[in-house]
Structure 1
């Protein structure tokens, strides 16, 4: 069933509502919602680009013995395609997507799942992100947070969530 016409501003809400209203079981409803998410992700995938210094920085961190993980609210199908398209196949020890968790960031579930899988204490992890959800999840998981400026959300001094570190370029992570 196609609930999405390819533009991120259009989802056929009437189709979604009719499918949901015909269903009694939660799993069917969740599958419809997942399909809508996947269609938005597929559209966004065509526009995703790496930050200028991302691949070089990630490779340097990995070569320096750092364990790298990716925790995202994006679905597995799109993120696996992005990893392949952006040639990041050998970078991450673990990838946690919305398909692996019951609660999305800012809930810490995905971050804690990654820490547990890597056998690392959360308080020894630096989680880097570009959104309030990333910072909130890191704080809730008892991880250090690093805000990458220029991303999804702009952080202000008056905001409730303040990162432990702020960087303007990923290469600033290399110490």
Structure 2
């Protein structure tokens, strides 16, 4: 099936946003005279959001009254620190440039709230290049529900079958499959040690962004779907 667009998950796929999450966690621990936590501990639960990162970083039970205090502090600190150290993954600039030299367009479908996603995209100079940005603010149900991807395809005026969704979490692939898009899992994102992207049911699995560029020139046809 010919491709007309490629949609990316944000955290762990298009962008390495972990450095800002880690900085926030370490600042919160330092404010409480706690030693820094291992960075890998934060990275492997990023896909679970603020809740998962707070639970892991502070080893606190979610029923503890302090949990919600910590979660809200995390979100407040991240609001002012979400676009400081985050950066585009190695190889992704070349991939985006390659996409932009074809008839394809690209966009982002993320479970990251708009108030964080927009400033990060702007800081990295990606806003004007991105054809669509879908966040939880735009839908009633986030990934793994198909609604975010269905909305993205509708806004682009494209048949989901002509769209490829790339993500680093099982929920990304579940969302894409349910929406009827083609899917590609990456292994360079925030993968929990117990997860295996090869078992998520994606059409392709890649270890580096440039592998997708190679696939676009071979296994996936690019052009009009008619």
TM-score category, normalised to shorter length = 0.7 to 0.9
> Closer, same or farther in 2 for the Cα pair 1:122/1:49, shift >3 Å?
same
- TM alignment of 1:26-175, pairs within 5 A: 39=76, 42=79, 43=81, 45-153=83-191, 155-156=195-196, 159=199, 161-174=200-213, 175=217
CA contact (8 A) 2:82 2:120 kept: no
- How many angstroms apart in 2 are the aligned matches of 1:157 and 1:67? 25
CA distance in structure 2 between the partners assigned to 1:153 and 1:89 by the alignment: 26
Determine the structure 2 residue equivalent to 1:30.
none
Residue 91 of structure 1 and its aligned partner are, at CA, apart by 1.8
State the Cα deviation string for residues 45-96 of structure 1 (Å, max 9, x = none): 4442211111221122022121111000001111111111111122211100
Number of paired residues? 156
Three-state SS of the structure 1 residue aligned to 2:166 is: strand
How far apart, CA to CA, are the structure 2 residues paired with 1:40 and 1:147? 30
> Compared with structure 1, are the counterparts of its residues 16 and 102 closer, same or farther at alpha carbon in structure 2 (3 Å cutoff)?
farther
Instruction: Summarize the Cα distance change of 1:157–1:74 in structure 2 as closer, same or farther, 3 Å threshold.
Output: closer
Q: CA deviation at 1:124?
A: 1.4
Q: Give TM-score, length-normalised by structure 1.
A: 0.74
RMSD: 3.1
- Structure 2 unaligned spans of 5+: 1-23, 29-52, 59-63, 218-226
Normalising by the residue count of structure 2, what TM-score does the alignment of the two structures yield?
0.59
After the TM superposition, list the runs of 4 or more consecutive aligned residues in structure 1 that deviate by more than 4 angstroms: 13-18, 35-38
- For structure 1, which segment, 54-63 or 137-146, has the greater mean C-alpha deviation from structure 2 after superposition? 54-63
Give the distance between the partners of 1:102 and 1:80, measured in 2 at CA: 19
Cα displacement (A) at 1:36: 7.7
Take 1:128 and 1:90, find their aligned partners in 2: how far apart are those partners? 20
- Higher RCO, Cα 8 Å, sep 6+: 2
Q: Which runs of 5 or more structure 1 residues have no equivalent in the other structure?
A: 19-32
